[in-house]
Structure 1
Amino acid sequence: METVRIVPESGRPAEPADVTLLATADWDHPLWTNKQHVACSLAELGHRVLYVESLGLRALRAGGSDWRRVLQRLRHGLRPPRQVRERLWVWSPLVLPGASGGVAAWLNRQVLRLGLARCRRRLGLRRDWLWTYNPRTLEVLDARPYSRLVYHCVDAIQAQPDMPAAAIDRAEARLCAEADAVFVTSPQLLADLRALNPATLHYPNVADGAHFARAMDPALAVPAELAALPAPRIGFVGAISAYKLDLTLLETLARRHPHWSFVLIGPVGEGDPSTDVAALAALGNVHLLGTRPYNALPAYLKGLDLGLLPLRLTPYTQAMFPMKFFEYLAAGLPVVATAIDALQPFASLALLRPPTAEAFATAIAAALRGEGPALAERLAGAAAHTYRGRTEAMLQDLSRLE
């Protein structure tokens, strides 16, 4: 497995550019991912960024969460771009989710073309870089007027539930072929996409280190609802979704170890409304706290004894790099995680195990005894993997491709 780079190498820094960033997540989503963090890093590095909220990769589901987002989009869709940080604006295009052809797709293309033109005029932006997370970008937007096209692939989106996999595969192949650079977050994505574009580079997911390091602050108070739970407290923070998490493994661990408190923080069913947590919720030592604000997460992590990543082994998870890995480490937590390929280069920082109750229980018990990687190693590993450092390194790679 080839070495990944995070600390930027010497080289000519990128000149300030105007960046149109096509996201697959809305700015205000409670679970921040690469899109929001990279937009912030680009702006901090002097670039002007227009963050374009999700265009909708799949058709709407009958459930309430999709329609709540539609209503929110209707509220924002007719407004001009709003400034959220210095040099960073957010625009919510009023498009039809999941449109792949016909009149609906044509309407989406016109809305995006005209809306982006209005945003550029209002903000005085040039068409320097198009930085996209959407594999279907070229179906809705002509990238040719932009001087650089960057595809940042952070997931095998086509492997998520209800996604039009064949259409995404076709569109992604075209996007990779036309992109000036493709950045990926896992070895599997590197293998898949480098075959489509040799200018494909592997940068694993990282963390907002300064934010999560607040968990190490002695003055930071642990939330009362968490402090009241019996120790040891074993936690997961993120989307509680059956297509990613091994809920059966969690249930088995909780049943076999009733003296361990399992704390799950995050929305249930994000991306997978079929997720059923009834069996977990029925257990007295499993605590589903729901979504908590991003700014409050360090305080919750401070109250945990261990960070858990109980991932299923599926085509989706084998192509992912869990963002929580370095967030847990930055908060000073020992980590027990499913041994997916993307985490293997960082095996010295965590206890990686197959997703069986026996293997996980043994690793959890060892970590709680203080065995495994030392705190100093974990913190050093997290410090070397930050959004600012990774973004600088990616920009230097872009400058070398000129």
Structure 2
Amino acid sequence: MKNTTDINDIVVLSTADWDNPFWTNKQHVAVELANRGHRVLYIESLGLRRPSVNKKDLSRIFRRVLKAIKAPRQVRDNIWVWSPISIPFNNYAFVRKLNKLILSSALKFWCWRLKFKNETLWTYNPLTTRFLEPSDFGYVVYHCVDEIKAQPGMPVDILQDAEEELVRRADITFVTSLTLLKSRQKWSDEVYYFSNVADYNHFSTALDETLPVPADLSQIPEPRIGFIGAISGYKVNFSLLEEIAKAHPEWSIVMIGDVGEGDPNTDATQLTRHKNIHLIGPRSYQQLPGYLKGFTATLLPNNLNEYTASMFPMKFFEYLAAGKAVVSVDLASLCDFKDYVRIAHTPTDFISALEDITSGNRISVEKCQELAQQYTYQSRTEKMFKLIDEKRNESSNRS
């Protein structure tokens, strides 16, 4: 894998579908790689979690089968998206071997058809070595953005072993939180921390005076306390939201996102019984700045558990880019940014912070913008490639 050939064509092994309304690192990084002139083959999620017998999972399987029979589709300049078929029962060794045979063979074929050469693998999937052979690629980047094994329904033991192998075999590993850095550095010296960032240019349009607040949001009474993201039981503290709703029935708590994303067993009935909690469903990525414009304050109301201890919420910089004041639980990843967010340790603290913000006592929009402008996909990708180039040059000089 230690190859001195320039990085040109890149295979991105994602854990998110391209068309998911809430873009994550995976889609944004693919776009940034393409903007840098790389040709990118983006592989959609292979399904790490064992599917449940529910409408959401069955619908996704059906859509995926329809996609799998199609060739990679070009979605932007330099970006093709491929949806390979994969058997989602990765807790069985024979299934993993079959998936590896199918995926690696098909990937070689499509890379040949697209005239990709000496491909670099940029992977987000901790099971990568169970799907692909790292030595088939000119260079391997593992971008670790979550503690995936802490999500519900994951094959924990298999993920642990596979991810350790991946970190050891990758040329370089990037992590998005200091917690992930500490744990992954036990497996390799080539692990480096780069926090999550945001699409500043997109979300800062929330400050455009001509941008309208969407009609459905305008009908919800102010002040509006907003959240954008997956509304899942293992991520979001529903009891905290209830406490806020009961303390201030005149506030409107607006939740934008799919209920049960990543956790189909999520039960949100404790939220729906409150008239001032509005679960309005997902909205397209292009619409999000308009919704943020209509919020008085924004929330990071996470549970504190193994998953969130290793999580750096992308929403933090998205909220700041939109000029919004943020109130958060005490997430480890935000310890360096306490001058830009109100940290709450109890529901009372959370409510008090929101009371201050709704009364006008908040950090300035200019201060929000100043920080958000420093944490963009473009700047982070430039820093990543600078480090990659340094490491590749060191390797070349040693050999």
How would you bin the TM-score normalised by the shorter chain? over 0.9
Partner of 1:161: 152
Which of 249, 266, 282 aligns to 2:273? It is 282
Letter in 2 for 1:189: L
2:30 pairs with 1:39? yes
Q: Note closer, same or farther for the CA distance 1:146–1:172 as it changes in structure 2 (3 Å cut).
A: same
Can you list the C-alpha shifts for 1:79-103, whole angstroms capped at 9, x where unaligned?
Answer: 1111111111111111111334444
Match of 1:319 in 2: 310
CA deviations over 1:273-304 (Å, ceiling 9, x no partner): 22222121111111110111111111111111
Q: Does 1:54 align with 2:72?
A: no
Q: Is 1:370 matched up with 2:364?
A: no
Change (3 A) 1:336 1:102: closer
Render the CA deviation track for 1:45-64: whole Å, top value 9, x for unaligned. 11111101111112211111
Runs of 4+ in 1 over 6 A off after TM superposition: none
Deviates more, 1:286-295 or 1:270-279: 270-279
Structure 1 match to 2:295: 304
Structure 2-normalised TM-score? 0.95
| SS of 1:182 mapped into structure 2 | strand
Structure 1 residues 15 and 346, CA, compared in 2 at 3 Å: closer, same or farther? farther
Q: Is the 2:328–2:344 Cα contact (8 Å) retained in structure 1?
A: yes
Q: Which residue of 1 aligns with 2:219?
A: 228
Aligned-pair CA distance for 1:368:
2.0
Structure 2 CA distance for aligned equivalents of residues 143 and 165 of structure 1: 22
SS in 2 for 1:144: helix
- Other-structure match for 2:377: 387
The structure showing larger relative contact order (alpha-carbon pairs under 8 Å, at least 6 residues apart) is: 1
- What corresponds to 2:191 in structure 1? 200
The answer to whether residue 177 in structure 2 is matched with residue 186 in structure 1 is yes
Letter in 1 for 2:142: Y
Helix, strand or coil at the partner of 1:401: helix
Q: 1:8 maps to what in 2?
A: none
* Separation in structure 2 between the aligned mates of residue 25 and residue 365 of structure 1, nearest angstrom: 36
Q: Which runs of 5+ in 2 are unaligned?
A: 393-399
Distance 1:309 1:330 in 2: 15
Q: Distance in 2 between matches of 1:292 and 1:166?
A: 35
Q: What amino acid is aligned across from residue 364 of structure 1 in structure 2?
A: L
Report if aligned partners of 1:350, 1:372 keep a CA contact under 8 Å in 2: no
Q: Which one of the candidate residues 240, 244, 262 is aligned to 2:235? A: 244
1:74 paired with 2:72, answer no
1:358 equivalenced with 2:348 (yes/no): yes
How big is each residue's C-alpha offset from its partner over 1:243-294, in whole Å with a ceiling of 9 and x where there is no partner? Answer: 0111000001101111111000100011112222212111111111011111
Partner residue of 2:113 out of 110, 114, 122: 122
Aligned-pair Cα RMSD in Å: 1.3
For these two proteins, the number of residue pairs brought into alignment is: 388
User: 105-114 or 31-40: which moved more?
Assistant: 105-114
* C-alpha separation in 2, matches of 1:244 and 1:316: 8
Q: Could you give the per-residue CA deviations for residues 303-347 of structure 1, whole angstroms, max 9, x where no partner exists?
A: 111111111110110100011101111111100011211011111
State the 1:362 CA deviation: 0.8
Moved more, 14-23 or 45-54: 14-23
Provide the residue aligned with 1:11 in structure 2.
Answer: none
Aligned position for 1:261: 252
Corresponding residue for 1:273?
264
Give the conservation status (yes or no) of the 8 Å contact 2:328–2:343.
yes
Question: C-alpha offsets along residues 115-169 of structure 1, whole Å, 9 cap, x if unaligned?
Answer: 1112111110013311100001001111102121111000000000011111101
Contact 1:51 1:90 in 2 (8 A): yes
Distance, in Å, in 2 between the alignment partners of 1:277 and 1:191 is: 34
Q: CA deviation at 1:353?
A: 1.6
Q: Is this contact kept in 2: 1:16–1:48, CA < 8 A?
A: no
Structure 1 residue runs of 5 or longer lacking an equivalent are 1-13
TM-score, normalised via structure 1 length: 0.94
Structure 1 Cα separation of the partners of residues 270 and 91 of structure 2: 38
Tell me which residue corresponds to 2:396: none
Which residue number corresponds to residue 391 of structure 2?
401
